[in-house]
């Protein structure tokens, strides 16, 4: 059997984590199928550097080599005799994978996308509370036009323009704000 190291340096520890995480994201997309292949390969390279992985021209050949009986014995030894370091490595890998997934899912959204998502969520909540018998054909046509505008890639701009054109949105001026404040104060006084 190949000699197995009982300790690795921080650089080797870090290299294992980086290799596995990077292998799990080929082309920037998460691929969990690569996890076991990469982890076993990295552990064998770090703890049993004399274990022969040469001649593995593709993932299938590498998979056969890292799943062999000899490789299993080495991995089992690492799992039992060096369980603390292996658990630390696995925990760091999963923390990195979760972080990358969060970056992928949120990083692709611009501030405009996030604001639009919030607007749509708010509109959805408001629409759920509307008595649909009050909707007119003109209002429905406006909303259909706004939805159809999403197909040109300028959804936010088209939605706001359409809503402004139909008078559904207006920029509040000073007079409107004063009027709203007075109405709010009257309502509060009447409630008391």
Identify the pLDDT of residue 133. 57
Identify the pLDDT of residue 1. 72
Are the C-beta atoms of residues 74 and 2 closer than 8 Å to each other?
yes
Distance, CA of 20 to CA of 14 (rounded, Å): 10
Residue of 17, 161, 42 whose CA lies nearest to 98: 17
In this structure, the number of other CB atoms found within 10 A of the CB of residue 36 comes to 13
Distance, CA of 20 to CA of 6 (rounded, Å): 20
| Mean pLDDT score across all residues of the chain | 80
What token pair was written down for 170?
Answer: 């207006």
Where are the extended beta strands (E) located within 27-171? Answer: none
**The whole model's pTM is what?**
0.55
Distance, CA of 1 to CA of 17 (rounded, Å): 26
Average pLDDT on 27-32 reads: 88
CB-based contacts of 55, cutoff 8 Å, min separation 6: 61
What does the radius of gyration of the chain's CA atoms come to, in whole angstroms?
Answer: 30
Average pLDDT on 18-44 reads: 94
What token pair was written down for 132?
Answer: 């649909």
Average pLDDT on 147-168 reads: 64
pLDDT of 190 higher than 60: yes
pLDDT of 59 higher than 60: yes
pLDDT of 17 higher than 80: yes
Distance, CA of 180 to CA of 176 (rounded, Å): 6
Residue of 141, 6, 23, 120 whose CA lies nearest to 74: 6
């Amino acid at each position: 059997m190949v000699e197995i190291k009982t300790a690795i340096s921080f650089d080797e520890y870090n290299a294992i984590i980086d290799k596995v995480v990077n292998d799990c994201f080929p082309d920037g997309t998460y691929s969990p199928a690569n996890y076991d292949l990469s982890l076993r390969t990295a552990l064998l390279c770090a703890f049993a550097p004399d274990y022969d992985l040469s001649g593995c021209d593709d993932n299938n050949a590498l998979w056969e080599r890292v799943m062999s009986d000899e490789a299993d014995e080495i991995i089992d030894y690492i799992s039992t005799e060096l369980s603390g370091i292996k658990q630390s490595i696995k925990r760091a890998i999963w923390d990195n994978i979760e972080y990358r997934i969060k970056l992928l899912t949120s990083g692709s959204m611009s501030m405009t996308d996030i604001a639009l998502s919030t607007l749509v969520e708010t509109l959805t909540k408001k629409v759920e509370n509307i008595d649909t018998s009050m909707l007119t054909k003109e209002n429905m046509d406006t909303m259909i036009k706004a939805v159809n505008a999403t197909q040109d890639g300028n959804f936010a701009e088209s939605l706001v323009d359409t809503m402004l054109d139909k008078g559904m949105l207006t920029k509040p001026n000073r007079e409107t704000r004063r009027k709203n404040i007075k109405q709010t104060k009257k309502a509060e006084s009447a409630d008391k």
